[in-house]
Amino acid sequence: MTPGRRFVNATSRMHTRQCTPRFVQPREATLQKLYSTSASQIDSSFFLPPQDPSRKGQYTIVLDMDETLLHSGDHPILSGDPRMECVTLSFSDSSEDVLHSIIRPHAPQLVRELAPDAEIVLWTAGMQEYARKAMQHIDPGAQISHSIYRDSRWFSMPNYFKDLKRLGRSMDRTLIVDNSEYVCMADIHNSIIIDDFLGSPDDDLLVQLEEILKGLITSNQPVPQYLEKCKASKHLRFWGGFYRLSAAPQRPVTSRL
């Protein structure tokens, strides 16, 4: 997700006011805290520690958060649809420091189904506190292997990229799913661009994505080769230089203006 489109307005209090990155410790200490890995084990050029031996050879699947796994805003969500999971995220005792989020249908299922057979990495431009609170509702079992939050090592407005080569994994076995094609420009052959989630209860793209990613794991093929196969079978379309997972126009959720 490109925060310039949404964070400045809908979530300005939690995102714009904290524009200084939260990662202020030396890089090694930060990674040691986040990943419980000693600094000596971490290649200084990579964002992740070496792949755990128990996951050796697994695909690394990188997931964006905002508008990929959930949609957040300042206003309470008004929906009586039982399919909608709406949550309120509080950040202090102040009633103003809250965000209202709606979880994309099937997001918890996606993480739960993929986690045993793939190394899942959350990579978000969201602030650490916000992302951790939001992901408690998507990944309550803490099955995501690693999380990368807004950080001056890779994030600076207005232009930034999620360069998969900074993860220290084989590019043949690394794939990112994001709603923003701009941030994936460094790795177009390893990216799936998914339609924005705007709150529709009818959104089923993560079910389709789960099928595609399980197919990748089963295939044992290099990611670029597998994405070409998905294009040929029309599971993905290729447009504007990217592989895309799209659906019919969504009906946005109603929020109080």
Residue spans of the domains in the chain: they are 3-245
Dump pLDDT digits (tens) for 192-220. 999 999 888 999 999 999 999 999 999 99
- What are residue 177's DSSP bridge partners? 63, 192
- As a whole number, mean pLDDT of residues 110-133 equals 96
Distance in angstroms (rounded) separating the CA atoms of residues 250 and 197: 8
What strands, in cross-sheet order, belong to the sheet with 70-73? 70-73, 98-103, 85-90
- In this prediction, residue 147 carries a pLDDT of 97
Q: Is residue 4 scored above 80 in pLDDT?
A: no
- Is 169 exposed, middle or buried, given 0-12, 13-18 or 19+ CB atoms closer than 10 A? buried
pTM (predicted TM-score): 0.79
- In this prediction, residue 232 carries a pLDDT of 97
- In this prediction, residue 78 carries a pLDDT of 65
- In this prediction, residue 76 carries a pLDDT of 72
Name the pLDDT band for 131 (thresholds 50, 70, 90). very high
Task: Report the SS3 class of residue 61.
Answer: strand
- In this prediction, residue 15 carries a pLDDT of 41
CATH of 3-245, one of 3.40.50.300, 3.40.50.1000, 3.40.50.261, 3.30.70.1400: 3.40.50.1000
